[in-house]
Amino acid sequence: MLKKLSATRQTANKKEQGFTLLEVMIAMAIMLISLASILAVESNSINATRRAKQLNIVAMLARGRMIKLESEFEGKTFSEFRKEDGGNFDEPYQDYRWSYKVKELTFPNIGGGGGGDKGEGASGGAAESGGGMAEMVTKLLTKYLSKSLREVALTVFWKRGSGEQSFTVATYWVDLTHEFELTE
């Protein structure tokens, strides 16, 4: 009976001894992988937040500069306004710079030049003169639009790492003082 009692004590002691080295190593590996995953997700979240903040600053700077350009243009004609310019932003945004270009828009002649059925006899002559009138009006209109509209593209630049990033916005200005010419 004494032998039986000591044998049960030995098996009880074996159960109470704890984890084996292999079990501890597996648990540590699982914890290490979990912590590394959490750290990677958190790092990506911080980078995305930093990028969103930077894009918000850039959009704010572009909007402010575009408003300033529009107020400088107000009351002027396109010939009085510089076609290109640039500069740096004031403190605390001295790491950002801007430039703009004013581009003339050219519209195609959408009048075309016929291609439809001209009719017969006396009505054919009336259709031709009506088509010529429509083509002339279309040419005058496209000429007017080309002279009275401009595209303004504003670009904000900033350094990121070893390279440079840019953000461009565009708008269209209309010179309402431009006269409508009735000659081709």
pLDDT of residue 116: 46
165: DSSP letter? E
Highest mean pLDDT among 2-6, 52-56, 130-134, 136-140: 52-56
The token duo for 34 is 């979990």
DSSP per-residue letters across 82-112: -SEEEEEPPTT-TTEEEEEEEEE-----TTT
The token duo for 148 is 């009275």
- pLDDT for 56 beyond 90: yes
Higher pLDDT, 111 or 91: 91
Higher pLDDT, 72 or 135: 72
pLDDT-based confidence at residue 113 (cuts at 50, 70, 90): low
What is the mean pLDDT of the segment spanning 148-166? 91
pLDDT of residue 49: 95
Tell me the C-alpha to C-alpha distance, in Å, between residue 54 and each of 9, 58, 87, 95, 156.
Answer: 68, 6, 19, 12, 12
- pLDDT for 74 beyond 90: no
**Domain ranges across the chain:** 2-174
